[in-house]
Structure 1
Amino acid sequence: MRQGIVRGNGTGSHLIVHAAPTPLIIVSMTAEGNSSASLILMCETAEFYPENFTLTWYKNGVETATGIHTIKRQNTEGLYEVSSTLEETQPVSSGAKYTCSVSHVSLETPAVITYTKSNPGHGFSISLLMIVRLLMAFLVILALTAIIVDHVKISSIEGFYVGLKNSYRRRHFPSDFVNIALTSVKAAGSVFSNCSLIRYTYLSE
């Protein structure tokens, strides 16, 4: 909020109060996923004073004046609010940008907000990809858990080494390979998770 004083010639002083508009809000009123329907956008702001303002719509950076309906109202506190709708009667291609700009005496620069038309199928593709990745991660964790349960039924690091050695021998690995693997595991330390990871790597190769 900004305020200033205007002095008259012997008639006293007048206090002028400027109330800046609230941050702009822009929403789509079109049914989601229906690319054949017309696009309807609404831009809103409120609680500004005085009432004079300029609201402008832009499509892809070019000012547009068709299909626009703007309403200004005054609330019980004497402040003003405005809502403006823009309607496109033709289908809009994905990536089209619509900008609502509001100028007011309380603002040094116009307040702007932009809406970008998205592809209805794009969000679904992203969600599906995330589901696939989560499923793959779950399968990897499940495989690691199965290996740990199957081969590490022990309560100490020493028992872990013995179980690991027996596990390799049951799979008929060469003795040289077994010795190298056990040496590598021992060198890795007593951290259980690290040992399990090393053992899993050898078994997978």
Structure 2
Amino acid sequence: MTLFLGYDPGGKGKNGVAAIRVISDTPKILDKATVRDAAEALVWLNARAKTAVALGIDTLLAWSPRGGRACDDALRRKYGGSSIVAQNSLYSSMTLNGAIVAKRLGLPVYESHPKLLLRVSAEHAIRKIYHEAVAESGADHEGDAIVAAWCAAMGHNGRWTVDLFTYIEDDIELVMPRARYPWFETV
């Protein structure tokens, strides 16, 4: 069984990390935590990285010189809602911490959007696991990290074939070479 890691970058004391295995498309949580900052997240993730095959991150892994990304515009058109924020409106802890961890960990990396996915997907197993993790910890950071790891597994294992970075034409700069943004359906 293959190990996948997840990271939800946030502000001080709001960085979620998770390690999961996926069995029949259902995540089995091996470990999760909320840590202080990206440095602590790196220590936690590095301790598990030797046996992991990929990292899912709830952050932007591609930036556009236009101020907005076409993949975000497409998601906003299809699903609506306010959780898809323009890249220039995001706080630095999310964008910078995510990029630092992606670069330093050195695993294949996959962007995720846990809140949107949970709202629009019919994947009941991940929704249940997310809500259990949030109820246990009292915050959504660990739950978002679990969902990010699961999204990485779905993309890495070829279960989701849509890559929002390549599916939608855009002038983007990848944070990491070969970063991907797997999604469960066309948008």
TM-score (norm 2): 0.23
Larger Rg: 1
Answer 1 or 2: which has greater helix percent.
2
Answer 1 or 2: which has greater strand percent.
1
